Structure 1
Amino acid sequence: MAMQTREGLFVARLPAALTLDTPMPYTHVPKDRVYAHLAFDLESGLYVGATLNETRFVAFDEDGQPLWREQEPSLIEPTNYRSTLELLTPGSWQAIHGYEFRQNEFVTSLKSVSLASRSRASGQRDFLAVGTAVYRAEDLATKGGIYVFEVVAVNPHPSTPHLTHQLRLLFFEDSKAAVNNVCDLNGYLFLSMGQKLYARAFEQDEFLLAVGFLDVGVHVKSLTALKNFLLIGDEQQSISLVAFQEDPYKLVLLGRDYRPSRVGSANFIVNEGKVAFVSNDDGGNLRLFEYDPTNIASYAGQRLLCRTEFHAGSESHASILFAKHAPGEDARQNGILYGGLDGSLSTLVPVRDAVFRRLQSLQATMTRHVLHFAGLNPRGHRIVKNDSVSRAIVKGILDGDLLATFETLPLEYQNELAAAVGTDADTVRANLRNLRGFE
């Protein structure tokens, strides 16, 4: 590959393992185990992966002692999962250090968190928070644990110069239930166990001190923090917005969605100082909510207002925020990257009002005048069944898949469609490029 720049002509070679036959190039790294979670440590520049290994099941009593059972060759031994943490080097993706959890214990949540620490001038320091679940037996309740690790630099041996870092366990605590989610907010660690939400302070880099708790929903599936707010996605009761107060310590439920919905992931989306909340349920439906205490329909803010429903077509249990700064604009924005259970990646990004109205008009025109796959109606595909409203509320989110087909049409047809909505094809193509990817 040759590239001409102001400094001169450069010739580069693409890696042999790079796959280019998909819309997003990727490199597949074969490993002999399954990685269920992955986190990035900013200070060391290394990745931490949580593996899921199938092992022989060992039954324990209430005191944690293994139960003896006579081996019978005619019976198939039961199996269970056991996790390990591995410190991975980018590029080679070799494990340079690890930590093995207890028997029948596997990782349910792994995140890089910023907690309060006196060892840094900034007052905060990056750690790795791990939540686990421990399956014991069919007549005993599932337990769990909360771990806090740090990645430390070590002097490597001359024979192993690549072993430059290690995982160090700073804190461990048994819990009465599985720890499903962990996240950080203003230097505090938040974790969920079933329907309970706990706030912890990391004191002296040694132990976690409980500072608050709150009962929410039925089973917390997603936990996301932004400034002093927590967005909670529940297995049965949709989403809830919670505020955290430090002096005195208090968790306050601001509002929630009262319609039942099985949320897989929930996140914030910010555009020019305005914040909305997005949920993704088990049917692959996106819902956009707003907190507006001045609206009479919100009952003084107790109810989150659903502004848009959109069928994305893919259920997602993982979503992360990424910064998005449009070229030539000073307004800060963020987008959401979704990882679907079908292996797909999709993004949801905010759009300026003028661009939204232009693309919405183009979308309506393309729905009527462009041939669609198998003659199916793209607008009908995005409608979400909702018996509580008289008309589908799908106009708040644009159909990126439909708009992307605009660039595949002949230039003459592009000009005709753009002219029908009072613009030109160059403007539409520029708008679509600005919304694509992570620019």
Structure 2
Amino acid sequence: YDSLYFLVWRESDKSLTLLAKDYEPIPVYAAGLISRGGAMSFICQDDRQNLQFFQYAPNDPAARGGNKLVCRADFHLGDQTISFGSHWCRSSLLINSATPNSTLAALKRQDTLFGRVDDDQRFAVNFGTTDGAFGSVVPLSEQVYWRLTALQSVMSNALESNCALSQRSWRLYRRTARRGGCRSNDRKKGVIDGALISKYADLPLTDQEDLASAIGSTVELILDNILELGCSSAVV
């Protein structure tokens, strides 16, 4: 099992050059790319239904001089997929517009930076699973990520889970028992569980206010983040 390889095509001599790879023996079932602005990450799923996110970071000490892809995050999906597709993340203003082309032109006239900032240049991946489900992985800004991470933490503790099972433990990276196939003991985490976060919109207003207050935010801001997350996940 050779995991991921990152190669660059050189037009000058019509050759492929290896820049970096992941050295762990991971059987990759599917692989794709997500990006936000100039930052790009590789995503792959393995035989234990884990998602892992790698970056090419030659200046990172963990990159072994730039030869190793650095794992930035991991997440247990719990479903198997064999393919990732890419799509552009659109804002709610475009998704809910009856004339998206006109809306886009108006936004560019009103804001000269529209379309140039990182949040306007995001590409996500979408996938289907072998049991018929459909999902997306969407890159977030750091501010939104930490807000939803805090919300996810308090919701995991405050809401009742099915059969008293831990939603937090369910999403932890599953290690393989195969010899030589175990990563270092630290789990990177770093991925928001959208299935859990989306439940916030269905809670009574009093519960929404309590949870928002617990993380120092507001109901309106959280609902706006969830709306944008849903629109960014839309493929058609």
TM-score interval w.r.t. the shorter chain? Answer: 0.7 to 0.9
User: Which residue of the partner structure matches residue 63 of structure 2?
Assistant: 298
User: Which residue of the partner structure matches residue 96 of structure 2?
Assistant: none
Helix, strand or coil at the partner of 1:405: helix
Higher share in strand? 1
User: Which residue of the partner structure matches residue 404 of structure 1?
Assistant: 198
> In the aligned structure 2, how far is the partner of 1:428 from the partner of 1:247?
50
Helix, strand or coil at the partner of 1:243: strand
Matched, 1:382 2:171: yes
Q: Output the aligned Cα RMSD.
A: 1.5
- String of CA shifts for 1:121-168, please: whole Å, max 9, x gaps: xxxxxxxxxxxxxxxxxxxxxxxxxxxxxxxxxxxxxxxxxxxxxxxx
User: Which residue of the partner structure matches residue 167 of structure 1?
Assistant: none
Matched, 1:393 2:182: no
> In the aligned structure 2, how far is the partner of 1:407 from the partner of 1:389?
37
Is the contact between residue 74 and residue 188 of structure 2 (CA under 8 Å) also seen in structure 1? yes
Is the contact between residue 325 and residue 332 of structure 1 (CA under 8 Å) also seen in structure 2? no
Matched, 1:275 2:40: yes
Is the contact between residue 48 and residue 174 of structure 2 (CA under 8 Å) also seen in structure 1? no
Is the contact between residue 282 and residue 316 of structure 1 (CA under 8 Å) also seen in structure 2? no
> In the aligned structure 2, how far is the partner of 1:378 from the partner of 1:297?
30
Give TM-score, length-normalised by structure 1. Answer: 0.45
Helix, strand or coil at the partner of 1:342: coil
User: Which residue of the partner structure matches residue 72 of structure 2?
Assistant: 307
2:210 to 416, 425, 432: 416
> In the aligned structure 2, how far is the partner of 1:352 from the partner of 1:310?
18
1:252 to 17, 30, 36: 17
Helix, strand or coil at the partner of 1:318: coil
Is the contact between residue 125 and residue 137 of structure 2 (CA under 8 Å) also seen in structure 1? yes
> In the aligned structure 2, how far is the partner of 1:312 from the partner of 1:378?
12
User: Which residue of the partner structure matches residue 352 of structure 1?
Assistant: 141
- String of CA shifts for 1:162-212, please: whole Å, max 9, x gaps: xxxxxxxxxxxxxxxxxxxxxxxxxxxxxxxxxxxxxxxxxxxxxxxxxxx
What are the residue-to-residue correspondences of 1:72-83 with 2, within 5 Å?
Answer: none
What are the residue-to-residue correspondences of 1:184-199 with 2, within 5 Å?
Answer: none
- String of CA shifts for 1:332-378, please: whole Å, max 9, x gaps: 11110011111111000111111111000000001111111111111
> In the aligned structure 1, how far is the partner of 2:63 from the partner of 2:124?
26
Q: List structure 1 segments (4+ residues) > 4 angstroms apart after TM superposition.
A: none
User: Which residue of the partner structure matches residue 435 of structure 1?
Assistant: 229
> In the aligned structure 2, how far is the partner of 1:264 from the partner of 1:350?
21
Is the contact between residue 271 and residue 350 of structure 1 (CA under 8 Å) also seen in structure 2? yes
> In the aligned structure 2, how far is the partner of 1:406 from the partner of 1:336?
24
Give TM-score, length-normalised by structure 2. Answer: 0.82
2:158 to 361, 365, 369: 369
> In the aligned structure 1, how far is the partner of 2:154 from the partner of 2:172?
17
- Alpha-carbon deviation of 1:315? 1.1
* Aligned residue type for 2:154: T
- Alpha-carbon deviation of 1:240? 0.7
What are the residue-to-residue correspondences of 1:20-169 with 2, within 5 Å?
Answer: none
- Alpha-carbon deviation of 1:434? 0.5
- Alpha-carbon deviation of 1:417? 0.2
* Aligned residue type for 1:429: L
> In the aligned structure 2, how far is the partner of 1:283 from the partner of 1:340?
14
Helix, strand or coil at the partner of 2:82: strand
Helix, strand or coil at the partner of 2:174: coil
Greater C-alpha Rg: 1
User: Which residue of the partner structure matches residue 110 of structure 2?
Assistant: none
- Alpha-carbon deviation of 1:262? 1.2
Helix, strand or coil at the partner of 1:422: coil
- Alpha-carbon deviation of 1:282? 2.1
* Aligned residue type for 1:253: L
* Aligned residue type for 2:72: R
